[in-house]
Amino acid sequence: MTIKPLIILPDPLLREISRPVETVDAALLKLADDMLETMYDAPGIGLAAVQIGVPRRLLVIDVAREDEPKSPQVFINPQIVKSSDERSVYEEGCLSIPDYYAEVERPATVTVKHIGRDGKEHLIEADGLLATCLQHEIDHLNGVLFIDYISRLKREMVIRKFTKASKGKAV
């Protein structure tokens, strides 16, 4: 497994809509394993393929607590097919927007259709942190960032800060 470099805001790739995965093969599963390794190293609880420069509809998640065994999950071509009217608020962060956190309101529960590592279609009902994480990562596949849910003023400040920081880096 290989730790991949993360794409950081304001990289325009983060705003692209990811392409569907056509085939679940050894190369895709290796990519998923590399993504898990990258996510654990960061450390984070979710990662979309686009965050490592691969605009494909693939994401990995592990919401196990630190005192619990790892519980990695792979979602290929995930799609939210149902979401609750009930809302929940979590403080979210993002590996592509390091060290910035904001409260985001989302549906409290979601049902997600996806293909698993086994190449078969699955349906998962999620609530709590898993529901939030799935929505956050699926947003990435659609070119949406969690900062899109905060006020325009705060969002523009964050984008300005990261744009300025990216221009200050040596190429």
∠ CA 39-41-42, rounded to 5°: 65
Q: Which of the following is catalytic: 66, 92, 137, 156?
A: 137
- Is 66 designated active site? no
Closest CA to 44 of 29, 62, 65: 62
**Which residues are tagged catalytic?**
137
